[in-house]
Chains A and B, each alone.
Chain A
Amino acid sequence: MNPKLIVLLLLPPLLGALFLTRFFQQSRMPLKTLFTVLASTATGYALISFGLFLCYVLQPHYARLLTAVLPWFLVLGLLIRLAGTQTTPQACSLKQTLRQCFFGGWNSPQQILHSILSWFLIALLIYTLINSAETLAGYMTWNAFGGWDARYFWVLKARFLFRDPEQWRLMFSEWIASWGNHDYPLMVPGVMAWGWNFMGRESLLWPMIISGVFMFSLGGLMVWYLAAWRSWPAALAAALFFFTLPAYQFWAGTLYNDIPYAFFSNGALLLLITALRQKEMRLFALAGFFAGCAAWTKNEGIIFLGWFGLLAGVSLIHERRISHKTVWPALGAIAGGMVIPLLICLYFKLALVGRETHLIKKSTPAEFWAALTNWPRNQVIVQGFRMYMADYKNWHGLWFLFAAAVVYWPVTRKVSPRPYSGLIILAIVLIHLGYAFVFTQTPNNIYKHIETALMRLLLHTSALAVVFIFETFGMLRPNASISSPPS
């Protein structure tokens, strides 16, 4: 194996882990160690992408050198910062919950069954992960250049960044803008270019690794959340269900950016729920950072930022248990977390791209209203959602289970309250409404647009739906309250 590749594989998780550790040092977030382990690589990629973009904007002449040394400086800086600070213990530790899950005791049949189920699920999950990794690797090696969007939009941007850092702005050339979606943000192309800069060549393996990392990190995110707030059996069963979904396996193999986007947007929402339950400013800030990362990954992230802000604002303002003194600092923490990603996005969109996106045409208010109230077309959009969500081959009945969980949710709320879990339903509904709105205004052929985009758009919310299903129907921790993890 290429020794440079080993460094490429190790540096982002190291950087991400140090960044998250610094964030969590004063936090009591449940299973923060697990979150750090599972999300460190993807978080490291985000930091590297922001760093690369700043180097290219500020010092394109030295960009190659700067992007190579910057992560090392960040690692060093974080190590120095971490050295002098004390760590606050987490609300429930990984070791403690694992012991409770797998060796929960033999006092009652429920405890015994709980442990047996956990062992059974972990064995199956390991088998599923191996199968999933093998399927993905097989698909990727035979389709090394990825799907259409990957080849002609995402990887093309990375080539501009890698081949001539001084001329990288040529990617905004009007001739490429006519077909190349020049306004797509640069999270993943930036990570690709960073790896290629480091290796000195356009390695085909590197984009595959990035795609695989985001796919497994997304699964990891739901394991963390459900293990922290529900139980290990629920987390393991959710991961088992998720990793057998053909939709995710297929689209991870195409090297599209929908799964990286799903990682950041879903992570933002799950961190927001955790922050609201824990009432911790640091977690609000991290949720804001993840939401900003989502906007730097795909254009859909801009819409998500609006929904995220709305959900955070409404939750905080209507939260009676939080005093008004806490509401504004929490909103400030969210804004603080997203400020750097958002400024980068704004600079990219306004100063560099500067042209309208072709997904929504410029129209007069009358044209806009006519498009919005075009009922035959709206019917096609609704039918499209219905058809793609009901696609059993891709989703294994996920959306039916989600509907059942939504119906059952009010019952479980009474028995075992799960504060803020309703945000997941709201987020899914709002995100889908946003996409439906874009479809109403699209200048493209509606059938073609739905056919090429809708299945991928569902990837953005399906992992959240899995989380909600297992938070509703999942096993409870033996003798544990749901809203507060054991200390």
Chain B
Amino acid sequence: MLKKAGSILDFTLRFALHIGIALFALSSLKPVALKAHPKLAASLWSGQDKAYIVPGSQFKIFKPYLPKTGQVSLILDRPNRESPPFKETSYDAQNYFAPLIINLETVEPAALVYCSTQDTAEKRLTETGYVWTYKIAPGKGLARKTV
């Protein structure tokens, strides 16, 4: 009798726990806050991804002038390698150009210059010991090491 009562109590407690967890789970479900935009979803399913801007695609201007593999340095506005904008921009460049290797040290014979203004680019070239070889846009172009 006692064993049966224990068994019923055990069943009841476990049953209540399942119901409790189910109701809790239901209550914790929120309406989907960020729904997939139909145009983004269509772009993904089509396999073309045209609705997206690929990170690093700002470096597209350099593509015709670069070999597929090799190593180049990258000269940006900020020389601080630990700053998040520097990291993000240079890592995006690596993603964009791979398998070409982007060296974050300004030591390679050739460098990509990607500065916001012509003046900053000139300043950074002087600091790092490079000279212009080809200007693509104001503050942007290819440079070679002088020393």
- Which A residues between 66 and 94 are near B, CB-CB below 8 angstroms? none
Q: A117-B18, A208-B44 are in contact. Are A396 and B28 (CB under 8 A)?
A: yes
A473 in contact with B17 (CB, 8 Å): yes
Cβ of B132 under 8 Å from chain A: no
Stretch in A31-39, A175-183, A288-296, A454-462 with 4+ CB within 8 Å of B: A175-183
Contacts of A178 in B (CB 8 A): 104
Cβ of B2 under 8 Å from chain A: no
- Which A residues between 141 and 188 are near B, CB-CB below 8 angstroms? 141-142, 144-145, 151-152, 155-156, 159-160, 163-164, 167-168, 170-171, 173, 175-176, 178-180
B103 in contact with A175 (CB, 8 Å): yes
Cβ of B137 under 8 Å from chain A: no
Cβ of A386 under 8 Å from chain B: no
A152 in contact with B91 (CB, 8 Å): yes
Contacts of A175 in B (CB 8 A): 71, 101-105
A141 in contact with B55 (CB, 8 Å): no
- Bound CA span A2–B101, Å: 32
How many whole Å from A50's CB to the nearest CB in chain B? 23
Cβ of B1 under 8 Å from chain A: no
Q: A1-B45, A204-B52 are in contact. Are A160 and B98 (CB under 8 A)?
A: yes
Contacts of A96 in B (CB 8 A): none
Contact with B along A229-273 (1 / 0, CB 8 A): 000011001001101100000000000000000000000000000
A134 in contact with B99 (CB, 8 Å): no
Cβ of A428 under 8 Å from chain B: no
B102 in contact with A134 (CB, 8 Å): no
Contact with A along B33-50 (1 / 0, CB 8 A): 111110011001111010
Contacts of A373 in B (CB 8 A): none
Stretch in B19-27, B58-66, B121-129 with 4+ CB within 8 Å of A: B19-27
Q: Which of A117, A237, A241 has the most CB of B within 10 A?
A: A237
A179 in contact with B104 (CB, 8 Å): yes
A204 in contact with B25 (CB, 8 Å): no
Cβ of A476 under 8 Å from chain B: yes
| Chain B residues bordering chain A, tally (CB within 8 A) | 45
Q: A142-B37, A151-B91, A156-B94 are in contact. Are A135 and B44 (CB under 8 A)?
A: no
How many whole Å from B46's CB to the nearest CB in chain A? 7
- Bound CA span A131–B55, Å: 30
- Bound CA span A243–B54, Å: 31
B37 in contact with A141 (CB, 8 Å): yes
A134 in contact with B95 (CB, 8 Å): no
Cβ of A199 under 8 Å from chain B: yes
How many whole Å from B69's CB to the nearest CB in chain A? 5
A167 in contact with B91 (CB, 8 Å): no
Cβ of A339 under 8 Å from chain B: no
Stretch in A40-48, A120-128, A323-331, A350-358 with 4+ CB within 8 Å of B: A120-128
How many whole Å from B89's CB to the nearest CB in chain A? 12
- Bound CA span A134–B33, Å: 10
Q: A203-B49, A476-B14 are in contact. Are A156 and B103 (CB under 8 A)?
A: no
- Which B residues between 75 and 133 are near A, CB-CB below 8 angstroms? 87, 91-92, 94-95, 98-99, 101-105
Cβ of B135 under 8 Å from chain A: no
B102 in contact with A475 (CB, 8 Å): no
- Bound CA span A359–B35, Å: 37
B95 in contact with A2 (CB, 8 Å): no
Contact of A244 among B10, B25, B45, B52 (CB under 8 A): B25
Contacts of B101 in A (CB 8 A): 170, 173, 175-176
Cβ of B32 under 8 Å from chain A: yes
The residue on A at minimum CB distance from B107 is A175
Q: Is the interface of A mostly helix, strand, loop or mixed?
A: helix
Contact of A124 among B26, B41, B103 (CB under 8 A): B26
Contacts of A159 in B (CB 8 A): 95, 98
Contacts of A121 in B (CB 8 A): 18, 22
Cβ of B29 under 8 Å from chain A: yes
Contact of B21 among A5, A204, A240 (CB under 8 A): A240
B21 in contact with A151 (CB, 8 Å): no
A240 in contact with B22 (CB, 8 Å): yes
Contacts of A5 in B (CB 8 A): 45, 47
- Bound CA span A4–B47, Å: 9
Contacts of B15 in A (CB 8 A): 113, 117, 475
- Bound CA span A170–B92, Å: 17
Q: A1-B45, A175-B103, A175-B104 are in contact. Are A167 and B95 (CB under 8 A)?
A: no
Cβ of B134 under 8 Å from chain A: no
Contacts of A201 in B (CB 8 A): 47
B34 in contact with A244 (CB, 8 Å): no
A137 in contact with B49 (CB, 8 Å): no
Cβ of A110 under 8 Å from chain B: yes
Contacts of A199 in B (CB 8 A): 47
Contacts of A140 in B (CB 8 A): 36
Q: Which residues of A contact B (CB under 8 A)?
A: 1-2, 4-5, 110, 113, 117, 120-121, 124, 127-128, 131, 134-135, 137-142, 144-145, 151-152, 155-156, 159-160, 163-164, 167-168, 170-171, 173, 175-176, 178-180, 199, 201, 203-205, 208, 233-234, 237, 240-241, 243-244, 396, 415, 473-476
Can you name 7 A-B residue pairings with CB atoms under 8 Å? Answer: A1-B45, A120-B19, A139-B34, A204-B44, A237-B21, A396-B24, A475-B14
- Given A159-B98, A167-B69, A175-B104: 9 more A-B contacts, CB < 8 Å: A156-B94, A167-B68, A168-B99, A170-B98, A203-B47, A204-B44, A233-B18, A241-B21, A396-B24
